[in-house]
Amino acid sequence: MSPNSPVPEPSSSVGRRTVLGAAAAAAALPVLAGVAAPARAAGTATEAAPRALPGGGDLGPNVIVFDPSTPGIQAKLDDVFRQQESAQFGTGRYALLFKPGTYNGLNAQIGFYTSIAGLGLSPDDTTINGDVTVDAGWFNGNATQNFWRSAENLALVPVSGTNRWAVAQAAPFRRMHVRGGLNLAPNGYGWASGGYIADSRIDGQVGPYSQQQWYTRDSAIGSWLNGVWNMVFSGVTGAPAQSFPNPPYTTLDTTPVSREKPFLYLNGSEYRVFLPEKRTNARGVTWGNGTPRGTSLPLSQFYVAKPGVSAATLNQALAQGLHLLLTPGTYHVDQPIRVDRAGTVVLGLGYATLTADNGATVLKVADVDGVRLAGFLIDAGPVNSATLLEVGPAGSAKDHSANPTTVQDVFVRIGGAGAGKATTSMVINSRHTIVDHTWVWRADHGTGVGWDTNRADYGVVVNGDDVLCTGLFVEHFNKYDVQWNGQRGRTIFFQNEKAYDAPNQAAVQDGSVKGYAAYKVGANVTTHEGWGLGSYCYYNVNPSIVQHHGFSAPNTPGVKFHDLLVVSLGGNGQYEHVINETGAPTSGTSTTPSTVVSYP
């Protein structure tokens, strides 16, 4: 929607983020990490015979660890927030970790590239009598650019009875217990475009207000207030009943397969990483009866990586049999990080960022069982990468149903923080992979942005069979945002915007079809299913552009969709149909969705 559009009242249809460059980088904050052991020198890629790399060690200066007796906690939280509040494309990266116990009178305001988390096995081990807040004062009450931040594994007792978490994409709220309500809108109910909740309990009401879309998975809520365009629930006790499109609720009783994100915790004075077990037909939180189910690894089995280490060093650590813990900061990757061993964990803290150098693919996973990728950001570099993340090599065919690979809170960005190009961002070749919450974004604002400047044709390409996506956000690609070629794929919740900056109709012409679909199922696919999928267009460079449809799929009984919508934002471009030749066109400047409840 136009930047001059009025701020909506609660529950009204609202526009999308304005195209605006964001603030400058923040300087690093010199703070202490309260962790177990000092860092030891790592071998370098240039040594003739590299020494064995150590496991464990300290977590570096940008992991800030508190316990209830730490003096000046609020002042430290405020220092980080001052740096990160508007540093949308800055270099600061922070993880704020709270040891088990009770903390009183805190308001942890969470800015860009900041993660806050408890260090207990259960959220209720770490209680903050106070708030963990995201608002949009830095952007005049518009929350549509509140990206790249997270909250995890804490219990909150909000001061007012309701905690505010007004976020957009790439801002997960995981394993949280809110002993009260949760407000997902900014102060003043300005524009908002989120979001994701998983494995959380909100005792009171969740109020999305102006949030356009939201996905909640395997959680428990007291109640849910309203919906704008697309609110999706799977495995959520207390969720509203299925009622799409009015109200726009898509509700699945269970999530077919899920496995929660790995997380760091303290066992006495020892850091460990917990690996939750896989659940089928999941419903509700994993921690409701105390200790969650799963296994854990000591930190000594991880190479604790610091910004500046090379891809060669990371690969040496993996070859030694270590897992990877990426501490906050930026890592330049000039060759693929190769995850070849079954069960390997690659866990990022504080939005650790892997940047492609010289056209490299940042990370490649072999066709093996049970790899867990979680909690990091991948940036394209100025030299085009053919791909940025590959899960399984081409032709992967092994059955991983008993122990799938999971990709969770792994976010991909092309442009915005600087020049970047990638033909395809994320390729999933391994069978049974679970992609649980991702935002794959070709930047529409920031640095290095333009139709050919940050060229990126495809967002997510799925070639593997039996892949499940829960919480799939993919936006602004030059061609297909999602291309799905594998059999028996499933997606629960999809959010998309087509690229704003297409110069003309010819630039997005897919043969004889007007515009590339946001989500295309390949012609040879015979079985596929999706629930709660939305695509929006905002062709502000050339508002005359027409999208024939948002979704394209074979017209066959085994390919099924439930609760689809397309929206034209302020009449900047239009859709002729929702899926294939089905669904009414959008028209005029209305932001009223065109919907299809069931297809075929």
- Does position 98 have pLDDT exceeding 90, yes or no? yes
Rounded to an integer, the average pLDDT of 95-112 is: 98
Judged by phi (left if over 0) then psi (alpha if -120 to 50, else beta), residue 459 lies in: alpha
pLDDT at residue 48, rounded to an integer = 58
- Please tell me whether residue 295 adopts helix, strand or coil conformation: strand
pLDDT at residue 40, rounded to an integer = 33
Label residue 289 exposed, middle or buried (CB < 10 Å: 0-12, 13-18, 19+).
exposed
pTM, to two decimals: 0.92
CA 384 – CA 357 distance, rounded (Å): 9
Is the four-CA dihedral 564, 225, 197, 259 of positive or negative sign? negative
pLDDT at residue 30, rounded to an integer = 27
- Does position 26 have pLDDT exceeding 80, yes or no? no
Tokens of 17: 């983020």
Stretch among 31-45, 355-369, 522-536, 565-579 having the lowest mean pLDDT:
31-45
Residue 475 main-chain phi, psi, to 5 deg: -140, 140
Tokens of 479: 């061609």
Please identify which of the residues 260, 497, 529, 581 carries the catalytic annotation: 497
Q: What is the mean pLDDT of the chain?
A: 92
CA 451 – CA 508 distance, rounded (Å): 11
Give yes or no for a contact between 210 and 194, defined as CB atoms under 8 angstroms apart. Answer: no
Residue 544 main-chain phi, psi, to 5 deg: -80, -5
pLDDT at residue 37, rounded to an integer = 32
Rounded to an integer, the average pLDDT of 54-82 is: 98
- Please tell me whether residue 138 adopts helix, strand or coil conformation: helix
In the chain, pLDDT over 90 holds for what percent of residues? 91
Give yes or no for a contact between 532 and 562, defined as CB atoms under 8 angstroms apart. Answer: yes
Give yes or no for a contact between 422 and 359, defined as CB atoms under 8 angstroms apart. Answer: no
pLDDT at residue 288, rounded to an integer = 86
Measure CA of the first residue to CA of the last residue in the chain; give whole Å.
Answer: 31
Rounded to an integer, the average pLDDT of 302-326 is: 98
DSSP secondary structure of 401-451? TTS--EEEEEEEEESBBS---EEEEEEE-STT-EEEEEEEEE-SSSBS-ST
Q: Give how far the C-alpha of residue 169 lies from the chain's centroid of Cα atoms, to the nearest Å.
A: 6
Question: Which contiguous run of DSSP H or E holds residue 84?
Answer: helix 73-84
What are the C-alpha distances in Å from 166 to residues 304, 365, 583? 32, 34, 32
Q: How does strand 330-333 pair with strand 294-298?
A: unpaired
Residue whose tokens read 């009204």: 12
Give yes or no for a contact between 422 and 440, defined as CB atoms under 8 angstroms apart. Answer: no
Rounded to an integer, the average pLDDT of 447-471 is: 98
What are the C-alpha distances in Å from 183 to residues 165, 186, 227, 392? 6, 8, 13, 39
CA 84 – CA 131 distance, rounded (Å): 18
- Please tell me whether residue 301 adopts helix, strand or coil conformation: helix
Q: What angle do CA 174, 175, 178 make, to 5 degrees?
A: 100
- Does position 17 have pLDDT exceeding 80, yes or no? no
Rounded to an integer, the average pLDDT of 89-94 is: 98
Give yes or no for a contact between 420 and 452, defined as CB atoms under 8 angstroms apart. Answer: no
Alpha-carbon dihedral of residues 439, 165, 122, 438, nearest 10 degrees? Answer: 0
Residues 6+ apart with CB under 8 A from 208: 184, 185, 192, 214, 224, 225, 226, 227, 228, 231
Name the DSSP letter for residue 160.
Answer: T
- Does position 31 have pLDDT exceeding 90, yes or no? no
Question: Which contiguous run of DSSP H or E holds residue 79?
Answer: helix 73-84
Q: Give how far the C-alpha of residue 327 lies from the chain's centroid of Cα atoms, to the nearest Å.
A: 18
Name the DSSP letter for residue 99.
Answer: -
pLDDT at residue 211, rounded to an integer = 98
Reduced 3-state DSSP string for 458-495: EEEEECCCCCEEEEEEEECCCCCCEEECCCCEEEEEEE
pLDDT in tens, 132-164: 999 999 999 999 999 999 999 999 999 999 999
- Does position 42 have pLDDT exceeding 60, yes or no? no
- Does position 41 have pLDDT exceeding 80, yes or no? no
Rounded to an integer, the average pLDDT of 212-232 is: 98
In the chain, pLDDT over 70 holds for what percent of residues? 92
Residue 76 main-chain phi, psi, to 5 deg: -70, -40
Rounded to an integer, the average pLDDT of 344-365 is: 98
Q: Is 9 a catalytic residue?
A: no
Residue whose tokens read 């001061």: 159
- Per-residue pLDDT band for 75 (boundaries 50, 70, 90) equals very high
pLDDT in tens, 395-421: 999 999 999 999 999 999 999 999 999
pLDDT at residue 289, rounded to an integer = 80
- Per-residue pLDDT band for 49 (boundaries 50, 70, 90) equals low
Residues 6+ apart with CB under 8 A from 4: none
What are the C-alpha distances in Å from 527 to residues 253, 402, 539, 561? 21, 21, 33, 11
Reduced 3-state DSSP string for 308-366: CCCHHHHHHHHHCCCEEEECCCEEEECCCEEECCCCCEEEEEEEEEEEECCCCCCEEEC
Q: What percentage of the chain's residues is helix, strand, coil (to nearest 5)?
A: 5, 40, 55
Give yes or no for a contact between 464 and 482, defined as CB atoms under 8 angstroms apart. Answer: no
Residues 6+ apart with CB under 8 A from 442: 414, 415, 425, 454, 456, 459, 475, 476, 477, 478, 499
pLDDT in tens, 463-502: 999 999 999 999 999 999 999 999 999 999 999 999 999 9
Label residue 545 exposed, middle or buried (CB < 10 Å: 0-12, 13-18, 19+).
buried
What are the C-alpha distances in Å from 548 to residues 102, 370, 508? 55, 40, 11
- Does position 187 have pLDDT exceeding 80, yes or no? yes
